[in-house]
């Protein structure tokens, strides 16, 4: 049975919070990993949206998409939610883009360390001025891609610096990342899975003749969670977890 005492972070996604027996501690840094098109960005947005409705400010940092395109996409996908513009207008949701490639080229072409440092500094400035309760970073895949093999340690260190920073501000944050494996059987454990407090895996497996979306909570530090592989659908109202069990 759920006994959330109000001091725990709630995702607000239909059917998801009951997969955690007592919510999640605030300040957790959570990875939303999955194959292309399985709904990572929309899920991260919905968490921010559900919390914003309750008055908790959310900051969304885009690395790969323009702000206008992002807003068009989420409004199109969640067409029953007609208060998205209002939440943005009222500054309960703030969406910014940080141009990674620009930072990369500005930092003299190859200086990965400076590139990542600039990005982390910019995020800290935004946090200080906007004071969000939750943050989404969509996605860290491009960072990893431009770091390439020879700079992978700089990438890992920078992600660690970033999650420590967010944790110290007691911000609950969600980072999306592409995972090349689309089904559970092919799941490859990434080093990122170890440094984050939580990992939610989204799968787009093939069921007979069509893809079916399922998700799994791999871990959430400080929370008992369901071990079920739960089906989900994305509707105009948001995500709906179709099958789950209480942790």
**Residues forming the site for ligand ATP (CB under 6 A):** 34, 36-42, 76-77, 178, 234
Window of 41-49, 109-117, 140-148, 215-223 that interacts with Mg ion by CB under 5 A: 41-49
Using the rule CB under 5 A, is 226 a contact of Mg ion?
Answer: no
Burial of 160 (0-12, 13-18, 19+ CB in 10 A): middle
141 binds Mg ion (CB under 5 A): no
Q: Say if CB 200 and CB 33 are below 8 A apart.
A: yes
Considering only the stretches 16-24, 25-33, 39-47, 160-168, report the one whose residues sit in contact with Mg ion under the rule CB under 5 A.
39-47
Tell me the closest approach of the beta carbon of residue 175 to ligand ATP, in angstroms: 12
- Residue 41 in the binding site for Mg ion (CB under 5 A): yes
Min. distance of Cβ 37 from ligand ATP in angstroms? 4
In terms of residues, how long is the chain?
A: 247
| Contact by Cβ (8 Å): 35, 176 | no
Question: Using CA atoms, how far apart are residues 43 and 33, in angstroms rounded to an integer?
Answer: 11
Residue 61 contacts residue 96 (beta carbons within 8 Å): yes
Please state the φ and ψ torsions of residue 62, each to the nearest 5 degrees: -105, 130
Tokens linked to 35: 């194959």
Q: How far is the CB of 131 from ligand ATP (least distance, A)?
A: 26
Residues that contact Mg ion, how many (by CB under 5 A):
2
Q: Which stretches of the chain bind Mg ion, using CB under 5 A?
A: 40-41
């Amino acid at each position: 049975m759920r006994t959330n005492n109000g001091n725990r972070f709630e995702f607000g996604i239909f059917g998801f919070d009951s997969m955690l027996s007592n919510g999640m501690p605030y300040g957790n840094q959570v990875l939303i990993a999955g194959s292309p098109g399985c709904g990572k960005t929309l899920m991260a947005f919905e968490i921010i949206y559900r919390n914003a409705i309750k008055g908790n400010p959310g900051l969304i940092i885009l690395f790969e998409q323009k702000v206008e395109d992002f807003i068009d996409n989420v409004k199109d996908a969640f067409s029953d939610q007609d208060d998205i513009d209002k939440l943005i207008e009222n500054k309960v949701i703030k969406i910014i883009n940080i141009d990674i490639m620009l930072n990369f080229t500005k930092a003299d072409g190859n200086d990965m360390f400076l590139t990542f440092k600039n990005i982390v500094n910019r995020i800290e400035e935004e946090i200080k001025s906007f004071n969000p309760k939750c943050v989404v970073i969509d996605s860290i895949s491009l960072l990893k891609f431009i770091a390439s093999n020879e700079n992978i340690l700089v990438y890992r260190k920078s992600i660690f610096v970033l999650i420590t920073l967010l944790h110290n501000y007691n911000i609950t944050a969600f980072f999306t990342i592409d995972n090349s494996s689309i089904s559970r059987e092919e799941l490859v454990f990434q080093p990122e899975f170890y440094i984050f407090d939580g990992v939610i895996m989204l799968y787009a497996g093939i069921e007979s003749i069509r893809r079916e979306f399922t998700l799994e909570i791999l871990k959430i530090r400080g929370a008992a969670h369901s071990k079920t592989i739960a089906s989900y659908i994305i509707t105009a109202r948001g995500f709906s977890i179709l099958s789950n069990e209480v942790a």
